[in-house]
């Protein structure tokens, strides 16, 4: 070793900032009602909470829906 460290790049998926949206934006994106989304929350829809505010990562929501309901 000559004093040079090994550079390990971050995984590509961690380089892009995550897009967190509100429940209202999620309803606009997918067209389902608030009631439908509230049921999905009870089923385990991934979410991020800051106090009483809920935010959703669009990529996580899509992956969860594909895993639960298929393509």
Question: What's residue 32's pLDDT?
Answer: 94
Predicted local distance difference test score (pLDDT) of residue 22: 95
Residue boundaries of the structural domains of the chain: 18-69
DSSP letters for 51-71:
TTEEEEEHHHHHHHHHHHH--
In a structure prediction context, what are the per-residue pLDDT tens digits for the chain, which is 71 residues long?
A: 556 778 777 666 655 667 899 999 999 999 999 999 999 999 999 999 988 899 999 999 999 999 998 86
Q: What is the rounded distance in angstroms from the CA atom of residue 54 to the CA atom of residue 29?
A: 16
pLDDT, residue 50, reads 84
């Amino acid at each position: 070793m000559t004093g040079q460290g090994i550079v390990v790049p971050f995984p590509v998926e961690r380089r892009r900032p995550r897009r967190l949206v509100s429940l209202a934006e999620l309803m606009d994106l997918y067209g389902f009602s608030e009631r439908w989304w509230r049921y999905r929350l009870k089923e385990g829809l991934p979410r991020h909470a800051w106090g009483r505010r809920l935010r959703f990562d669009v990529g996580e929501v899509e992956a969860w829906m594909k895993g639960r309901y298929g393509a």
